[in-house]
Structure 1
Amino acid sequence: MDKKSYTFIEIKQKLVNYCVYQDRCHAEVEQKMREFTLIPEAKEEILLYLLQENYLNEERFVRSYIRGKFYIKHWGRNKIRINLKQKQISEKLINACFDEIDEDDYFKTISKIFEDYYSKQSGLKEYQKKSKAIKYLMGKGFEYEIILQIMES
Protein backbone atom coordinates (compact mmCIF):
# COMPACT_ATOMS: atom_id res chain seq x y z
CA MET A 1 0.00 0.00 0.00
CA ASP A 2 1.28 3.43 -0.94
CA LYS A 3 1.85 5.91 1.85
CA LYS A 4 -0.18 9.04 1.16
CA SER A 5 2.14 11.99 1.54
CA TYR A 6 1.19 14.67 3.99
CA THR A 7 2.70 18.06 4.66
CA PHE A 8 4.54 18.67 7.90
CA ILE A 9 1.57 20.72 9.17
CA GLU A 10 -0.89 17.91 8.37
CA ILE A 11 1.25 15.32 10.10
CA LYS A 12 1.62 17.57 13.14
CA GLN A 13 -2.17 18.01 13.27
CA LYS A 14 -2.72 14.26 12.93
CA LEU A 15 -0.43 13.67 15.90
CA VAL A 16 -2.18 16.38 17.93
CA ASN A 17 -5.50 14.64 17.22
CA TYR A 18 -3.97 11.29 18.15
CA CYS A 19 -2.96 12.71 21.55
CA VAL A 20 -6.23 14.58 22.11
CA TYR A 21 -8.31 11.46 21.48
CA GLN A 22 -6.74 9.79 24.52
CA ASP A 23 -3.63 10.19 26.64
CA ARG A 24 -0.57 8.68 24.97
CA CYS A 25 2.94 7.83 26.06
CA HIS A 26 6.09 8.74 24.14
CA ALA A 27 6.50 5.23 22.76
CA GLU A 28 2.98 5.28 21.25
CA VAL A 29 3.54 8.68 19.66
CA GLU A 30 6.89 7.57 18.23
CA GLN A 31 5.23 4.42 16.89
CA LYS A 32 2.51 6.54 15.28
CA MET A 33 5.14 8.81 13.70
CA ARG A 34 6.61 5.81 11.89
CA GLU A 35 3.49 5.81 9.70
CA PHE A 36 4.76 9.02 8.16
CA THR A 37 7.95 9.78 6.31
CA LEU A 38 9.64 12.27 8.58
CA ILE A 39 13.24 13.30 8.93
CA PRO A 40 14.61 13.05 12.49
CA GLU A 41 14.54 16.86 12.89
CA ALA A 42 10.85 16.96 12.00
CA LYS A 43 10.10 14.18 14.49
CA GLU A 44 11.98 16.09 17.19
CA GLU A 45 10.10 19.28 16.40
CA ILE A 46 6.70 17.58 16.55
CA LEU A 47 7.57 15.79 19.78
CA LEU A 48 8.74 19.06 21.35
CA TYR A 49 5.57 20.82 20.21
CA LEU A 50 3.34 18.09 21.67
CA LEU A 51 5.18 18.32 24.98
CA GLN A 52 5.23 22.12 25.15
CA GLU A 53 1.52 22.37 24.36
CA ASN A 54 0.81 19.61 26.88
CA TYR A 55 -0.77 17.28 24.30
CA LEU A 56 1.81 14.75 25.37
CA ASN A 57 2.29 14.37 29.09
CA GLU A 58 3.78 11.11 30.28
CA GLU A 59 2.70 11.49 33.91
CA ARG A 60 -0.90 12.26 32.90
CA PHE A 61 -0.79 9.22 30.60
CA VAL A 62 0.48 6.95 33.39
CA ARG A 63 -2.12 8.23 35.85
CA SER A 64 -5.05 7.74 33.51
CA TYR A 65 -3.68 4.35 32.42
CA ILE A 66 -3.46 3.17 36.03
CA ARG A 67 -6.97 4.42 36.84
CA GLY A 68 -8.45 2.80 33.76
CA LYS A 69 -6.76 -0.56 34.13
CA PHE A 70 -7.61 -0.79 37.81
CA TYR A 71 -11.07 0.77 38.10
CA ILE A 72 -12.42 -0.45 34.76
CA LYS A 73 -10.48 -3.62 33.91
CA HIS A 74 -9.71 -4.61 37.53
CA TRP A 75 -6.04 -5.31 36.92
CA GLY A 76 -3.63 -5.58 39.85
CA ARG A 77 -0.49 -3.49 40.29
CA ASN A 78 1.82 -6.18 38.87
CA LYS A 79 -0.01 -6.45 35.56
CA ILE A 80 -0.31 -2.66 35.27
CA ARG A 81 3.43 -2.27 36.01
CA ILE A 82 4.44 -4.86 33.39
CA ASN A 83 2.27 -3.24 30.73
CA LEU A 84 3.59 0.24 31.49
CA LYS A 85 7.17 -1.04 31.32
CA GLN A 86 6.42 -2.43 27.86
CA LYS A 87 5.52 1.14 26.93
CA GLN A 88 8.99 2.22 28.13
CA ILE A 89 7.68 4.07 31.19
CA SER A 90 10.25 4.43 33.98
CA GLU A 91 9.90 2.50 37.23
CA LYS A 92 10.17 5.78 39.12
CA LEU A 93 7.22 7.36 37.31
CA ILE A 94 5.12 4.19 37.64
CA ASN A 95 5.72 4.08 41.41
CA ALA A 96 4.98 7.79 41.79
CA CYS A 97 1.62 7.37 40.07
CA PHE A 98 0.33 4.30 41.91
CA ASP A 99 -1.32 6.65 44.41
CA GLU A 100 -4.09 6.86 41.80
CA ILE A 101 -5.34 3.60 43.30
CA ASP A 102 -6.98 3.96 46.68
CA GLU A 103 -5.69 1.28 49.10
CA ASP A 104 -9.21 0.50 50.37
CA ASP A 105 -10.50 0.16 46.82
CA TYR A 106 -7.61 -2.15 46.04
CA PHE A 107 -8.43 -4.51 48.91
CA LYS A 108 -12.18 -4.33 48.25
CA THR A 109 -11.63 -5.16 44.59
CA ILE A 110 -9.46 -8.18 45.36
CA SER A 111 -12.03 -9.39 47.93
CA LYS A 112 -14.89 -9.01 45.49
CA ILE A 113 -13.08 -10.75 42.63
CA PHE A 114 -12.02 -13.52 45.00
CA GLU A 115 -15.54 -14.07 46.32
CA ASP A 116 -17.12 -13.98 42.85
CA TYR A 117 -14.59 -16.40 41.42
CA TYR A 118 -14.53 -18.67 44.47
CA SER A 119 -18.32 -19.00 44.62
CA LYS A 120 -18.45 -20.09 40.97
CA GLN A 121 -16.13 -23.06 41.59
CA SER A 122 -18.22 -26.16 42.10
CA GLY A 123 -17.43 -29.79 42.70
CA LEU A 124 -13.96 -29.05 43.99
CA LYS A 125 -12.32 -29.50 47.33
CA GLU A 126 -11.79 -26.41 49.47
CA TYR A 127 -8.04 -26.23 48.82
CA GLN A 128 -8.59 -26.66 45.06
CA LYS A 129 -11.06 -23.77 45.00
CA LYS A 130 -8.60 -21.64 46.93
CA SER A 131 -5.63 -22.45 44.75
CA LYS A 132 -7.65 -21.78 41.57
CA ALA A 133 -8.77 -18.45 42.98
CA ILE A 134 -5.18 -17.50 43.90
CA LYS A 135 -3.99 -18.38 40.39
CA TYR A 136 -6.82 -16.36 38.86
CA LEU A 137 -6.08 -13.27 40.97
CA MET A 138 -2.35 -13.51 40.29
CA GLY A 139 -3.14 -13.71 36.59
CA LYS A 140 -4.98 -10.41 36.96
CA GLY A 141 -1.82 -8.95 38.44
CA PHE A 142 -2.59 -8.91 42.14
CA GLU A 143 0.19 -9.53 44.66
CA TYR A 144 0.37 -12.98 46.25
CA GLU A 145 0.87 -11.59 49.79
CA ILE A 146 -2.21 -9.39 49.55
CA ILE A 147 -4.32 -12.23 48.11
CA LEU A 148 -3.38 -14.38 51.10
CA GLN A 149 -4.19 -11.57 53.55
CA ILE A 150 -7.64 -11.24 52.01
CA MET A 151 -8.32 -14.96 52.02
CA GLU A 152 -7.44 -15.17 55.70
CA SER A 153 -9.73 -12.31 56.67
Structure 2
Amino acid sequence: MNCYGFQKTSSSIAPGYVISPLSRVNSKKLYITLRIFKEKSSGDWHVHFGVNGDPEPVGYFPKTLIPGLIDKPLEISFGGFASHLKPLPSPPMGSGYASISGNAASFTNLKLIDAEGNEHIVNVDLPSNVDGKGCYTPSKIESAQFYYGGPGCTD
Protein backbone atom coordinates (compact mmCIF):
# COMPACT_ATOMS: atom_id res chain seq x y z
CA MET A 1 0.00 0.00 0.00
CA ASN A 2 2.98 2.27 -0.58
CA CYS A 3 1.39 3.75 -3.68
CA TYR A 4 -0.78 6.68 -2.73
CA GLY A 5 -4.08 6.57 -4.58
CA PHE A 6 -4.42 2.79 -5.06
CA GLN A 7 -8.11 1.96 -4.70
CA LYS A 8 -8.41 -1.28 -2.74
CA THR A 9 -11.53 -3.32 -3.54
CA SER A 10 -10.66 -6.59 -1.75
CA SER A 11 -11.02 -7.29 1.96
CA SER A 12 -8.62 -10.25 1.88
CA ILE A 13 -5.46 -9.07 0.05
CA ALA A 14 -3.69 -5.87 -0.99
CA PRO A 15 -0.32 -4.96 -2.49
CA GLY A 16 2.40 -5.43 0.12
CA TYR A 17 0.66 -8.25 2.01
CA VAL A 18 2.69 -11.35 2.82
CA ILE A 19 1.45 -14.37 0.87
CA SER A 20 0.93 -17.37 3.10
CA PRO A 21 1.20 -20.34 3.07
CA LEU A 22 4.20 -20.78 0.79
CA SER A 23 5.32 -23.60 -1.46
CA ARG A 24 8.04 -25.77 0.03
CA VAL A 25 10.62 -27.95 -1.70
CA ASN A 26 9.41 -31.58 -1.87
CA SER A 27 5.84 -30.67 -0.95
CA LYS A 28 2.70 -29.40 -2.66
CA LYS A 29 3.36 -26.41 -4.92
CA LEU A 30 1.19 -23.34 -4.70
CA TYR A 31 0.57 -21.32 -7.85
CA ILE A 32 0.01 -17.59 -7.76
CA THR A 33 -1.76 -15.83 -10.61
CA LEU A 34 -1.21 -12.11 -10.96
CA ARG A 35 -3.03 -10.15 -13.64
CA ILE A 36 -2.57 -6.42 -14.18
CA PHE A 37 -4.48 -4.84 -17.01
CA LYS A 38 -5.79 -1.54 -18.29
CA GLU A 39 -9.59 -1.53 -18.21
CA LYS A 40 -10.63 -0.29 -21.61
CA SER A 41 -13.65 1.89 -20.73
CA SER A 42 -12.21 3.68 -17.67
CA GLY A 43 -8.48 3.59 -18.49
CA ASP A 44 -7.76 2.51 -14.89
CA TRP A 45 -5.16 -0.20 -14.17
CA HIS A 46 -6.77 -3.16 -12.39
CA VAL A 47 -4.94 -5.73 -10.26
CA HIS A 48 -6.28 -9.29 -9.85
CA PHE A 49 -4.64 -11.97 -7.68
CA GLY A 50 -5.27 -15.66 -6.95
CA VAL A 51 -3.65 -18.68 -5.31
CA ASN A 52 -4.29 -22.06 -6.98
CA GLY A 53 -7.29 -20.70 -8.84
CA ASP A 54 -8.78 -17.88 -10.82
CA PRO A 55 -7.55 -14.44 -9.81
CA GLU A 56 -9.96 -12.11 -8.01
CA PRO A 57 -10.01 -8.30 -8.01
CA VAL A 58 -7.67 -6.62 -5.52
CA GLY A 59 -8.11 -2.99 -6.58
CA TYR A 60 -6.99 -0.53 -9.19
CA PHE A 61 -4.70 2.39 -9.93
CA PRO A 62 -6.79 5.27 -11.31
CA LYS A 63 -5.55 6.47 -14.71
CA THR A 64 -4.96 9.91 -13.16
CA LEU A 65 -2.14 8.41 -11.04
CA ILE A 66 -0.17 7.33 -14.09
CA PRO A 67 -1.00 9.75 -16.91
CA GLY A 68 2.18 8.79 -18.78
CA LEU A 69 0.68 5.37 -19.54
CA ILE A 70 -2.55 6.59 -21.10
CA ASP A 71 -1.51 6.07 -24.72
CA LYS A 72 2.10 4.90 -24.52
CA PRO A 73 3.70 1.46 -24.90
CA LEU A 74 4.05 -0.54 -21.72
CA GLU A 75 7.14 -2.21 -20.33
CA ILE A 76 6.67 -5.43 -18.40
CA SER A 77 9.09 -7.05 -15.99
CA PHE A 78 9.08 -10.14 -13.82
CA GLY A 79 11.29 -11.01 -10.88
CA GLY A 80 11.95 -11.04 -7.19
CA PHE A 81 13.34 -8.85 -4.46
CA ALA A 82 15.12 -9.74 -1.22
CA SER A 83 15.80 -7.22 1.53
CA HIS A 84 17.52 -7.25 4.90
CA LEU A 85 18.47 -4.55 7.39
CA LYS A 86 22.13 -5.60 7.46
CA PRO A 87 24.19 -5.53 4.25
CA LEU A 88 25.58 -9.07 4.74
CA PRO A 89 24.73 -11.83 4.71
CA SER A 90 22.04 -11.21 2.13
CA PRO A 91 18.89 -13.31 2.63
CA PRO A 92 17.72 -16.11 0.34
CA MET A 93 15.29 -15.30 -2.46
CA GLY A 94 12.51 -17.57 -3.65
CA SER A 95 13.10 -21.12 -2.42
CA GLY A 96 16.74 -20.34 -1.64
CA TYR A 97 17.91 -22.52 -4.52
CA ALA A 98 19.87 -21.09 -7.45
CA SER A 99 18.06 -20.67 -10.77
CA ILE A 100 19.95 -23.63 -12.25
CA SER A 101 18.22 -25.97 -9.79
CA GLY A 102 14.91 -27.69 -10.46
CA ASN A 103 13.90 -26.56 -6.96
CA ALA A 104 14.30 -22.84 -7.68
CA ALA A 105 11.33 -20.45 -7.59
CA SER A 106 9.81 -19.81 -10.99
CA PHE A 107 7.47 -17.71 -13.08
CA THR A 108 5.46 -19.76 -15.57
CA ASN A 109 2.84 -19.11 -18.22
CA LEU A 110 4.19 -15.60 -18.90
CA LYS A 111 1.79 -13.61 -21.09
CA LEU A 112 1.10 -10.09 -22.21
CA ILE A 113 -2.59 -9.44 -22.85
CA ASP A 114 -3.08 -6.50 -25.19
CA ALA A 115 -5.87 -3.89 -25.13
CA GLU A 116 -8.03 -6.09 -27.36
CA GLY A 117 -7.74 -9.05 -24.96
CA ASN A 118 -5.36 -11.03 -27.17
CA GLU A 119 -2.79 -13.13 -25.31
CA HIS A 120 0.85 -13.03 -26.38
CA ILE A 121 3.11 -15.69 -24.85
CA VAL A 122 6.41 -14.25 -23.58
CA ASN A 123 8.79 -16.72 -25.17
CA VAL A 124 11.87 -14.58 -25.72
CA ASP A 125 14.48 -13.78 -23.16
CA LEU A 126 14.22 -10.31 -21.65
CA PRO A 127 17.06 -8.14 -20.34
CA SER A 128 17.86 -8.90 -16.71
CA ASN A 129 18.82 -6.62 -13.86
CA VAL A 130 20.70 -8.44 -11.10
CA ASP A 131 22.35 -7.36 -7.87
CA GLY A 132 25.88 -7.28 -9.33
CA LYS A 133 27.23 -9.71 -6.73
CA GLY A 134 25.83 -12.84 -8.35
CA CYS A 135 23.70 -13.66 -5.30
CA TYR A 136 20.54 -14.03 -7.35
CA THR A 137 20.70 -14.90 -11.04
CA PRO A 138 17.64 -15.54 -13.22
CA SER A 139 17.60 -18.24 -15.87
CA LYS A 140 16.76 -17.46 -19.47
CA ILE A 141 13.08 -17.39 -20.45
CA GLU A 142 12.17 -20.61 -22.25
CA SER A 143 8.68 -21.97 -22.94
CA ALA A 144 7.14 -18.90 -21.23
CA GLN A 145 8.88 -19.53 -17.91
CA PHE A 146 12.05 -18.77 -16.00
CA TYR A 147 13.65 -19.64 -12.67
CA TYR A 148 15.03 -17.13 -10.18
CA GLY A 149 16.39 -16.74 -6.68
CA GLY A 150 19.30 -18.13 -4.77
CA PRO A 151 20.76 -18.69 -1.34
CA GLY A 152 22.04 -15.13 -0.91
CA CYS A 153 25.62 -14.02 -0.32
CA THR A 154 27.90 -13.99 2.67
CA ASP A 155 30.59 -11.69 1.27
TM-score range, shorter chain: under 0.3
Higher strand share: 2
Higher helix share: 1
TM-score (norm 2): 0.28
Which structure is richer in relative contact order (CA contacts within 8 A, separation 6 or more)? 1
TM-score (norm 1): 0.28
